[in-house]
Structure 1
Amino acid sequence: MRILVVGGSGLIGANVVDVLRERGHAATTAARTAGPGVDHVLDAETASVDDLRPLLAGLDGAVYAARTDEQRPRRKPVYPLYRREMVEPVVRLFTAARQEGLTRGAIMGSYYTYFDRLRPQWHLADRHTYVRCRLEQAREGRAAAGSGLPVAVLELPFVFGRAGDRLPNWAGPLDRWARSRSPLIMPPGGTAAASARSVAEVTVDALERGDGGDIPIADENLTWNDMIARIADAVGRRRRVGRLPAGVTRAGLRLGGLLMSAGRKEAGINPSHFADLLLADLFIQPASGRALEPALRETFPDTAGGSASPPR
């Protein structure tokens, strides 16, 4: 196969490129910023169908691996901004792919769309702009591709790993917290987790099959307590993690939502409803059982050389 990976310099995209090439496929990359391994400098938010078609000519498939920060507060209303960042670039990419006769594609999505199907009573699309736009991204991207170009949507949980200097966007604050002397406390609930390598392998499997389905991915399901304890252990600061009461979690997030709204700002995930997600077990069944620990330690290295303190 000959595949274009949009966002090919990022954590997920770079791993997809590696797996494609390991399996004997040809991969080219497009990214917003020039750098090692970037074949085409391209701003997916502004690239037109006509800009994209020459990059896709003669290829078999395309992967959209660019990402959006769903937690960062932005000025209201955020829906048009999320449409511009998440939905419209995918529509243009797969419109161009269809016009060039490509036969397979993949979108790096979110496990929130999996839970929207599994738990419709949570009303995720109504409460969270990010989830609404993830659903629109998948639906409209597939419509643009047409029936002859199946597009798989990889529904991603917390993803651990590294690609050069690229780490998960949430890794920095957790790394600093785990290395500090501050107490570690987490609410009940938990999340599915996967390594970037696993995501890449599942993505390439889907491309090889020409799969156009929704594909939730999990290597392990972790409670928040377990995840933070393992991160602290990885960085050499092993200690017990306390339990933050659910009521305190709800009150804090509601207050954050009120303050954000007072500042005329929004985030893709609404803080006023985020507690419902944070306190739930966002687990994907079945998990693959692939080892997550190497990717976790790659994300959170022990730079002090293994001076872990015993649990107290």
Structure 2
Amino acid sequence: MRILVIGGSGLIGAQVADVLRERGHSPTATARTAGPGVDHTLDLGTASAADLAALVDGHDGVVYAARTDEQRPLRKPIYPVFRRDLVEPVVRLFTAAREQGLTRGVVLGSYYTYFERLHPQWRLAEHHTYVRCRVEQAREARAAAGPDLPVAVIELPFVFGRSGDRLPNWAPPLDRWVRSRAPLLAPTGGTAVVSARSVGDMTVDALEQRSGADLPAADANLSWRDMIARVAEAAGRPRKVRRLPAAVVHTALRIGGGLQTLSGKESGVNPSYLGGLMLADQYVEPTTGRSLDAAIRETFAR
């Protein structure tokens, strides 16, 4: 297969390209800016229909692995910005892919859409613009693709791993914290986690099988305390992780949300509604059971 990888310069896109090559397929990596391993530079936000038709032409499938920063505070209203970044490029891309006869596609999404289905009482899409746009992204990508171009959505939790100098965007601040002299604190609750390699394998599996399913990704489910302890050990600063009281978490996030409101800003994940989510078990079942040791070590190399 010839597969177009949008966001091919990022951690996940690079892993997908590597797995494609290993299995005898031919990836074409596209990114906004030139760099090692990038075959084409194109900004999907400004690309014309003709640009996209030329880009997808001759490929069998397409992977959308670009991302946006859901935590970045922006001036209100933020919904048009998130929709422009997350939804509209995907609709244009899969419209072009359908018109050019591509037969398979994958969108790298978020495990928040998994929890939106599993726990509707959490009202994630209502409270968080990022989640709302991820739900719209999946639905509208499939509508644009049509029945002959199945689109799988890989729902990603925290991803560990490294591709060259490319790391998860959340890793550097956590790395600085665990290497500092500051105490390590964690609330109750936890999260699903996965390695970038596992995501690459899942993505290529979905392409080969022409899957159109929602595919939550998880190698393991870790409490926040366990996750931080394993990161600290990998960084060469192992020490005890103390419990952070739930009341402190709720209060700090509510204050953060209030300050954002006063400044006329908001972020894709609203701090005012984040406390309950952080303290919940954001776990995915089933997990692959694959070891994360190597992925954690390479993310936080000493």
Instruction: Establish whether TM, by shorter chain, passes 0.5.
Output: yes
Could you report, residue by residue, the CA deviation over 1:102-131 in whole angstroms, capped at 9, with x for unpaired residues? 000000000000000000011110000000
Find the aligned partners of 1:240 and 1:299 in 2 and give their Cα distance. Answer: 20
Find the aligned partners of 1:247 and 1:199 in 2 and give their Cα distance. Answer: 35
Q: Which amino acid in 2 is paired with 1:55?
A: L
Q: Which runs of 5+ in 2 are unaligned?
A: none
Superposition pairs for residues 51-200 of structure 1, below 5 Å?
Answer: 51-200=51-200
Partner of 1:290: 290
Q: Which amino acid in 2 is paired with 1:209?
A: Q
Q: Which amino acid in 2 is paired with 1:91?
A: V
Percent identity for Structure 1 against Structure 2: 68
Secondary structure of 2:191's counterpart equals: strand
Shift of residue 297, structure 1, vs aligned partner: 0.7
Could you report, residue by residue, the CA deviation over 1:114-156 in whole angstroms, capped at 9, with x for unpaired residues? 0000000111100000000000000001100001000000000
Could you report, residue by residue, the CA deviation over 1:212-253 in whole angstroms, capped at 9, with x for unpaired residues? 000000001000000000011001100000000001100100
Shift of residue 291, structure 1, vs aligned partner: 1.0
Shift of residue 293, structure 1, vs aligned partner: 1.1
Superposition pairs for residues 22-37 of structure 1, below 5 Å?
Answer: 22-37=22-37
Find the aligned partners of 1:219 and 1:211 in 2 and give their Cα distance. Answer: 20
Find the aligned partners of 1:228 and 1:80 in 2 and give their Cα distance. Answer: 35
CA RMSD of the aligned region, Å?
A: 0.6
Shift of residue 45, structure 1, vs aligned partner: 1.4
Find the aligned partners of 2:49 and 2:29 in 1 and give their Cα distance. Answer: 17
Find the aligned partners of 2:136 and 2:48 in 1 and give their Cα distance. Answer: 19
The TM-score with structure 2 as length reference comes to 0.99
Shift of residue 49, structure 1, vs aligned partner: 2.2
Partner of 1:233: 233
Q: Which runs of 5+ in 1 are unaligned?
A: 303-312
Could you report, residue by residue, the CA deviation over 1:49-72 in whole angstroms, capped at 9, with x for unpaired residues? 221111111110000000011011
Partner of 2:247: 247
Find the aligned partners of 1:232 and 1:238 in 2 and give their Cα distance. Answer: 5
Shift of residue 48, structure 1, vs aligned partner: 2.2
Secondary structure of 2:27's counterpart equals: strand
Matched, 1:211 2:192: no
Shift of residue 163, structure 1, vs aligned partner: 1.1
Could you report, residue by residue, the CA deviation over 1:150-202 in whole angstroms, capped at 9, with x for unpaired residues? 00000000000111111111001100000001100011110000000000000
Partner of 2:20: 20
Find the aligned partners of 1:296 and 1:47 in 2 and give their Cα distance. Answer: 37
Stretches of 4+ aligned residues off by more than 4 angstroms: none
Secondary structure of 1:108's counterpart equals: strand
Shift of residue 34, structure 1, vs aligned partner: 0.4
Partner of 2:258: 258
Find the aligned partners of 1:48 and 1:193 in 2 and give their Cα distance. Answer: 37
Secondary structure of 2:287's counterpart equals: coil
Shift of residue 286, structure 1, vs aligned partner: 1.1
Find the aligned partners of 2:291 and 2:179 in 1 and give their Cα distance. Answer: 24
Q: Which amino acid in 2 is paired with 1:150?
A: P
Could you report, residue by residue, the CA deviation over 1:242-286 in whole angstroms, capped at 9, with x for unpaired residues? 000001100100000000110101100000001111000000011
Shift of residue 36, structure 1, vs aligned partner: 1.1
Find the aligned partners of 2:233 and 2:92 in 1 and give their Cα distance. Answer: 44
Q: Which amino acid in 2 is paired with 1:135?
A: V
Find the aligned partners of 1:86 and 1:263 in 2 and give their Cα distance. Answer: 25
Secondary structure of 2:194's counterpart equals: strand
The TM-score with structure 1 as length reference comes to 0.96
Secondary structure of 1:38's counterpart equals: coil
